[in-house]
């Protein structure tokens, strides 16, 4: 189940980037579960990774290999290769080495990524057996196949394609992501792969990605769980005719804004596909002292099982939202200054229920598929937004039966 219209878009080609997929039968034999992304020799690559202390073996390897001019990404779904100890590290390294043999590159030029069940050995033999087929499948127009191959509990593939103009020349930015459960960003709780044909040095590309992730993937939550395998990668192939993107210029602003837009659209798609989700909620916190305070309040509301289940039931139980704001850790909160809204309906004012609030007005909002909760703290000018979804019966069912 997904909230809203979630059709996969037409993806523009990104010069210098090719993608190939195949089915290795890691957890199922119906769809492709292996993806290889190949980039141009002159490409730069940036990455942001999970902060979970039990981060998966491929995360360790990818972070190390990022410093060696990567040329290939190797992604598998169906197995996370996390919680697998030293054997997991050896399996991740072996996967990189086997792909390097097939493509004629160096093993430290391969970045591995895995997603799926934690604690089970990676079936390396299944993966390596199909690598020649995957490499043979490499093509510039396989973004749709790639988006399907990385899915686990996702109900739809997620992709965004954007074209901008810089100095009269076009630059394309594509992105795909997977994620529906175990979504509480501490970095980005998902796998995301973006590519552009822009020319930009690695350090600036890294800054651009980090800034975009902070305002997109780090502003979403489905269930409050931070995964062991999260990673977001941005590749720049340098194949566009546009001039090099340089820091402190209008061209950089145009490019960075476009990357931010792609990240935000992918992040929203993940929330729309939250496991069992029936509603999308935008939690907007305004008039905070600083961004950190605004985010903390927003995530406290978004993480609350009581708030999320009330939204699933379309129950205007506004006291649950008020309670979440109250326990969010805001120091010296002046209750009389706080206002809380469901869309445009004020539910809290002057320290209690708004005088003009009616249950009928609240119910009309809660019956909607997409709802905005606005909290005005009356303390400053900072504002932030967090996206989340409701918590349904299906979420429990999906995760209770995840390994069956």
Q: CB–CB of 201/44 below 8 Å?
A: yes
3-state secondary structure of 166: strand
* 358 counts as catalytic: no
Taking 3-state DSSP, the helix, strand and coil percentages for the chain, each rounded to the nearest 5, stand at: 35, 25, 40
Give, for 194, the enclosing helix (H) or strand (E). Answer: strand 191-196
Length of the chain in residues, anyone?
A: 404
Q: CB–CB of 326/348 below 8 Å?
A: no
Write down the catalytic residue from 50, 153, 172, 189.
Answer: 189
- DSSP letters, 248-297, are TSHHHHHHHHHHHHHHHHHHHHHHHT-TT---EEEEEEEEESSHHHHHHH
Which of 19, 12, 8, 10 has its CA nearest to residue 172? 12
Alpha helices per DSSP H over 33-175: 57-65, 85-103, 124-136, 143-149
Which of 256, 260, 180 has its CA nearest to residue 214? 260
Interior/surface letters 111-129, b for 16+ CB within 10 angstroms, e for the rest = bbbbbbbbebebbbebbbe
| DSSP-derived secondary structure letter, 9 | P
Q: Per the structure block, which two tokens stand in for 296?
A: 């903390």
Q: CB–CB of 345/361 below 8 Å?
A: yes
| DSSP-derived secondary structure letter, 55 | -
Relative to beta strand 339-342, strand 345-349 is: antiparallel
Q: CB–CB of 72/245 below 8 Å?
A: no
Sheet strands side by side (includes 34-39)? 17-22, 34-39, 72-79, 110-117
Give CA–CA dist 17/143, Å, rounded.
10
Catalytically active residues are 189
């Amino acid at each position: 189940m997904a909230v809203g219209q979630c059709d996969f878009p037409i993806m523009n080609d990104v010069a210098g980037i090719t993608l190939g997929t195949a089915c290795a039968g890691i957890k199922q034999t119906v769809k492709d579960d292996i993806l290889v992304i190949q980039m141009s020799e002159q490409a730069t690559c940036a990455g942001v990774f999970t902060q979970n202390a039990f981060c998966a073996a491929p995360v360790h390897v990818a972070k190390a290999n990022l410093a060696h001019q990567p040329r290939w990404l190797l992604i598998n779904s169906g197995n996370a290769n996390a919680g697998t100890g030293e054997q997991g590290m050896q399996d991740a390294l072996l996967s990189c080495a086997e792909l390097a043999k097939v493509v004629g590159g160096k093993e430290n030029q391969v970045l591995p990524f895995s997603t799926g069940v934690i604690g089970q050995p990676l079936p390396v033999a299944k993966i390596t057996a199909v690598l020649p087929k995957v490499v043979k499948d490499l093509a510039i127009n396989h973004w749709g196949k790639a988006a399907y191959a990385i899915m686990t509990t996702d109900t739809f593939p997620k992709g965004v394609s954007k074209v901008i103009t810089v100095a009269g020349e076009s630059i394309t930015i594509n992105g795909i992501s997977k994620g529906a459960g175990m979504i509480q960003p501490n970095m980005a709780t998902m796998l995301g792969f973006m590519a552009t044909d822009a020319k930009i040095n690695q350090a600036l590309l890294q800054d651009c990605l980090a800034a975009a992730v902070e305002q997109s993937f780090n502003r979403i939550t489905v269930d409050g769980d931070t995964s062991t395998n999260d990673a977001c990668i941005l590749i720049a192939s340098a194949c566009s005719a546009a001039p090099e993107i340089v820091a402190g210029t209008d061209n950089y602003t145009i490019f960075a804004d476009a990357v931010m837009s792609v990240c935000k659209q992918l992040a929203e798609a993940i929330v729309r596909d939250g496991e069992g989700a029936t509603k999308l909620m935008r939690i907007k916190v305004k008039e905070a002292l600083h961004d950190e305070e605004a985010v903390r309040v927003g995530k406290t509301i978004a993480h609350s099982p009581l708030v999320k289940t009330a939204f699933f039931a379309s129950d205007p139980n506004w006291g649950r939202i008020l309670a979440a704001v109250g326990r969010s850790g805001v120091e010296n909160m002046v209750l009389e200054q706080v206002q809380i809204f469901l869309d445009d309906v004020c539910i809290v004012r002057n320290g209690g229920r708004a005088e003009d609030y009616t249950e009928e007005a609240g119910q009309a909002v809660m019956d909607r598929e997409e709802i905005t909760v606005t909290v005005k703290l009356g303390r400053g000018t900072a504002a932030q937004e967090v996206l989340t979804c409701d918590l349904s019966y299906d979420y429990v069912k999906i995760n209770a039966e995840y390994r069956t």
